[in-house]
Each structure stands twice: as structure tokens, then as C-alpha cells.
Chains A and B, each alone.
Chain A
Amino acid sequence: MAVLVVADHDNQALRDTTLKTVAAAQGLSNEIDVLVLGQGADGAAQAAARIAGVRKVLLAEGEPLGRMIAEAVEAVVVPLMAGYDALLVPSTSAGKNFAPRVAAKLDVMQLSDVVQVVDASTFVRPIYAGNALETVRSSDAKKVITVRPTAFKAVAGEGGSATVERLSASAEAPGTRFVNEEMVVSDRPELGAAKIVVSGGRALGSAEEFRAVIEPLADKIGAAVGASRAAVDAGYAPNDYQVGQTGKVVAPDLYIAVGISGAIQHLAGMKDSKVIVAINKDADAPIFQVADYGWVADYKTAIPALMEELGKGGN
């Protein structure tokens, strides 16, 4: 059987999520092709060709594909699936948008957010905000799978020498027109891929306080910034900072939760972090039940003290 992985990239380079999705694909088959969709995406296609163990890279380009418009992606992917037994897509906002559309066109029930490949038709996936894991066997002839990247270890990005085949298939989205994109420009690492994440919660009390407390701490240790849903709902932080069931799922080496109580929906997004630090003045906050290092303290005094201590340098 052959499987197709859709790459996540910025046209020039691949994101780590692609290497992790290839890792998931290895649980199904050794015949792995990678599809790069984009515009001016030669760099990403060349990078995909260097992934260890990839058989072939397919490249399809066009304006709607550069924006990952679901209808355009469907137009390219659905005909290709005649030659594949499974489609694996990283669970990014783009992947979550188009994968179910492809699945329905193939009359397949999607396997969403898979965290473990048991065999070619059996998978483990989280349900109820990660409070339960279900092991399901799919009876569909073809599988459409979105992969939770944090659950897989990236394959080597070098060592392969696959060929790149340019597809000429048209990819139109006649009913959808791209208007604009407002991306948050930041020098910080990307939330989903950062080694360290500093997150703030509702205790911060205002957007100004969030910026004044959380962001300098993050910058001091080269961390990405996250937030609880409560902080996002209250307007203290933008939505794309959100960590949890309905936001991003992260698994950094170090996760520092500041003024976050630890609702189950938040824990769903960060409990697989290697080391968790919780700073909260409420000693009974549920976040302490998952924290490796808990510090019962008011962030107002704790964070300045922590900044000063970090400023003293390492040993």
C-alpha cells in the first residue's frame, strides 16, 4: 500500500509538523509520497525530497493553493487518492479545514487528531478534550487521517533523495475568494514548535498586564507565548495564543503556566509537556496537580523575582 502525506510548510522550508506526520505514516507503509501544495513552493518541495524514506514528492502550485483554500485542495487531492490507500495530514488549522472535505468526497469517515498508529487500520485518538483515548478500527477501504504532530517523533529531514514531480492539475475554488490575511508578526518561536512556552491566564487581569508580565519573561528565555482560553475570552491575549482543547496542543520541553488555574480544557493542550511549572497564588488550583514544579505565589512578586534570578545567568 502507498500513502500520501500533505506537507506543512512556508513555501521555502518544511515545518517540523511535516516530519512528524511522515513518522506517523511509517506506521502504515514504507511507500510514502509527500504532496507539497503552495505557490512558489520549490524550496519546500526540494526539502521534502530530502526527507529520509520518502519515495516521491508531488508539487502542485497556484494562487488558491498558496492560501490552502479547501475547495482547491480538494480538487488536487481527491483525484490523486485513486493511487493511495491513506492520506495523512498534520492537524494544523489548514489541515483541519481541508481533510474532512477530502474524506467526504471519498466517502470515508476521517480519523481526527491521531496520536498513535496501532496498525494500518487501527488508531488511537483523544476524545473529550483528551480526558479519554479511543482506539478505533476503521472499516473504510481508504483512510483519511489528521495527525497530532506533538505525539510523534520527527523523522530525519535529511538523507533522502526523492524525485519531485510537478502536477499540472488545475485547482480552482470558484465559490471562494481570498481577501486578506493578518498574521501576527513576532520574533518569538512558533507556539506549536517552541522548546519553551510561557502562558498567562485570567489572573493577569488585563491585556496591558499580560504584555508587561508574560512577554518579557518569554523573551528572556526564548519562549513562545501562550494563554488560557479564559485569558483569550477576556481579551487579554489574541486567540492564536490559545492553548487547549479548542486552541493549540503543545508539548514543549518546558511549559510555564502563570496565573492559570488549570481547567480541563487547558490541560488538554499542554499536559504532554516534558516539564511543567505552575505559578499561582491559589494553592488549590488544579494546575498544581500536573505541575512538576509548583510555586504558590502571586505572579506580581514571583515574576519580577524570577526575571532577576534568570538575569544572574547560568552555571
Chain B
Amino acid sequence: MKVLVPVKRVIDYNVKVRVKPDQSGVDLANVKMSMNPFDEIAVEEAVRLKEGKEHHAAGTATEIVVVSIGPAQAQETIRTALAMGADRGILIQHDATVEPLAVAKLLAQVVAEEQPGLVIMGKQAIDDDNNATGQMLAALLDWPQATFASKVELTGGGANVTREVDGGLQTLTVKLPAIVTTDLRLNEPRYASLPNIMKAKKKPIDVKSPADYGVDPTPRHMVLKVTEPAKRQAGIKVESAADLVMKLRNEAGVL
């Protein structure tokens, strides 16, 4: 079975975000960029499906195709996935912002071409925090969706997916093909080894444009401004439990 894994190049998880003084956005100049952490988990799960690691049977996945939509530098993100164990990449190159709806439309075209049995992708990108693309892709394809997965077990023709929901866990069985989006506890992504990083350089990446797929990537949202949230002021220090409880009761009135 072929597995498709969409990945996004985003600001690195550890970078402190700065809003530009002109309120036009956040400052991304000379900032470290990395693969969206949830997408790393998706790549890892696909590679485990291929390797037969954990509870997966070996060869469940036969080919892993990674696709990214973004600027030319998103090739680096694809290379990272190839070094982790994916087989080949597709870059749909576009420099401006592409919203989840347009991403889903592009991915739907890639799915039509590649015919994967499963799409595994991150539940949310840590830049725009939309948590929407996977669900939108499932809608456009009329496929079942199992979002926020903490466990995926493939069975013949289906997948048992345990999902992180408010208050606990929910398990669904979805018929394949389906969309699965990853949550944090699904797995711990590997670091690519040096030999695998070298090998990844030889793996093929196709470069396309949104026009190749007949999709108009023009955003539906116009960003009027980007501002910094109100800063909280640091308060006072207390020295003892008695002091803290007294202040919470008498000063703050919250106990």
C-alpha cells in the first residue's frame, strides 16, 4: 500500500516568535525553520508501517510519498522526510501563503494522481494553528477521517485508530482509503542517521506548481494586521505558604 505524507516547513518549535513593528506579520527573516513537529510524527508512523516496527506488520506500507507545498526551501523539509525513510517527494512550489483549503485542494489532486491507500498528516501546523487541512482533504475526497490519532493499527482494508478527545480516548475503525491526522503521543520521531541523510540526497523530488493541478491558491482571508497579545506583568514573590494563602484569600479573593 502506498502512503502519502504531507509535510509543512514552519518556524522551528523552539524559536521565540517576534511580531513585526509594522504589524504585517511575524518576523521570519534569518529564523530557523524546521518540519512541523506533528508532520514529523506522521512521517515516522509511515516509516514504521513500512519497516514493520512496533505493532505494524512489515511491508504494510510499500512506498512512502512525501508532498510539501511552499517555497523552494521546502525541498529541505522533504529531504528530512526522505532521510527518515520516505521514498520520494513532490514539491508544489508557491512562495505566498497557501491556506488549508487550497492545500487540501492541491492534496486532493495529488491523491487522485498517486492513489495512496492512506494519508497520514499532522493535526495542526504550529505557525497558523488552524487544525483544518486533514479534515478538509477528507471532505474533498469523501473519505473517512480519524483525527488526533494516538494509535494506528492497520487491518485488512481498514484501520483502527485511537483518538485523543476531550476527557479521554475514542477508538474508531475507518475503511481505507482514509485520512489520519497525528497527535503527540502516536510515536517519537527518529533522528535521521548520517548515511540515511546521504542516501536521501539521491532520492527523487518532483517540482510542480499549483497551476499544474489546476488549483487557485489565492487566500480567502485577508490579514489586516498581526499584533502582539497583551503582555502579562510579572507580579510579586511570596516567601511562605502562609503568605501565599493569605494573599490568595484576601488580596486576590480567589480562594
Q: How far is the CB of A192 from chain B (nearest CB, A)?
A: 7
Chain A: minimal CB distance from B13 (Å) = 8
B238 adjacent to A139 (CB under 8 Å): no
Nearest CB on B from A243, distance (A): 13
Residues in chain A near residue B134, CB distance under 8 A: 100
Candidates A179, A190, A253, A291; contact of B173 at CB < 8 Å: A179
Which residue of chain B lies nearest to A292 when distances are taken between CB atoms in the complex? B235
A120 interface contact, C-beta 8 A:
no
Q: Is A233 an interface residue (CB 8 A)?
A: yes
Q: A293's contact among B99, B128, B131, B235, by CB below 8 Å, is which?
A: B235
When A101-B139, A128-B11, A139-B222 are in contact, do A109 and B99 touch as well, CB less than 8 Å? yes
**B236 adjacent to A293 (CB under 8 Å):** yes
Question: Does B249 sit within 8 A of A, measured CB to CB?
Answer: yes
> Would you list which residues of chain A between 82 and 118 have a CB under 8 Å from chain B?
92-94, 96-105, 107-113
The answer on a CB contact under 8 Å between A239 and B183 is yes
Write the nearest CB–CB distance from B186 to chain A, whole angstroms. Answer: 11
Does A181 lie within 8 Å of B169, measured CB to CB? yes
Q: Is the CB of B223 within 8 A of A296?
A: no
A:136-189 near B, CB below 8 Å: 136-140, 173-184
Contact indicator B224/A290 (Cβ below 8 Å): no
* Distance to closest chain B CB from A298 (angstroms): 13
Out of B143, B221, B228, name the residue touching A133 (CB < 8 Å). Answer: B228
Interface band, chain A = 35 or more
Which B217-255 residues sit within 8 Å CB-CB of chain A? Answer: 219-229, 232, 234-242, 244-245, 247-250, 252, 254-255
Q: A177-B172, A182-B169, A302-B241 are in contact. Are A315 and B249 (CB under 8 A)?
A: yes
Residue of A nearest to B132 (CB): A100
Q: In the complex, A147 Cα to B171 Cα: how many Å?
A: 26
Q: Which residues of A contact B104 (CB under 8 A)?
A: 104
Q: Which residue of B lies closest to A289 (CB)?
A: B234
Question: Does any Cβ of B come within 8 Å of A203's Cβ?
Answer: no
CB atoms of A314 and B249 under 8 A apart: yes
From 179 to 218 in chain A, residues with beta carbon under 8 angstroms from any chain B beta carbon are: 179-184, 190, 192, 196
Q: Is B135 among interface residues, defined by CB-CB distance under 8 A?
A: yes
Which stretch in A23-31, A32-40, A54-62, A65-73 binds the other chain? A65-73
Q: Smallest distance from the beta carbon of A197 to chain B beta carbons, Å?
A: 11
Taking CB atoms, residues of chain A closer than 8 Å to B249 are: 314-315
A136 CB contact (under 8 Å) in B175, B223, B227, B239 = B223
Q: What are the residues of chain B within 8 A of A196 when measuring CB–CB?
A: 254
> Other than the known A181-B165, A184-B168, A190-B167, what 19 A-B pairs have Cβ atoms closer than 8 Å?
A70-B135, A100-B139, A112-B130, A122-B224, A139-B220, A175-B175, A176-B145, A176-B174, A181-B168, A196-B254, A271-B232, A275-B252, A289-B234, A290-B232, A293-B238, A293-B244, A295-B237, A309-B245, A314-B249
The 29 listed contacts between A and B (C-beta, < 8 Å) are A69-B172, A93-B163, A93-B166, A100-B133, A101-B135, A103-B139, A109-B100, A109-B219, A109-B220, A111-B221, A127-B127, A128-B127, A132-B227, A135-B227, A173-B144, A175-B143, A175-B175, A184-B167, A229-B184, A239-B183, A240-B165, A240-B166, A265-B13, A289-B232, A292-B252, A295-B239, A305-B240, A308-B241, A310-B245
User: Could you list which residues of chain B lie within 8 angstroms of chain A, going by C-beta atoms?
Assistant: 11, 13, 16-17, 19, 26, 99-101, 104, 124, 126-140, 143-148, 150, 160, 163-175, 178, 183-185, 219-229, 232, 234-242, 244-245, 247-250, 252, 254-255
Closest 10 A-B residue pairs measured CB to CB? Answer: A175-B144, A292-B235, A100-B135, A104-B136, A100-B132, A104-B139, A183-B168, A109-B220, A305-B241, A131-B17
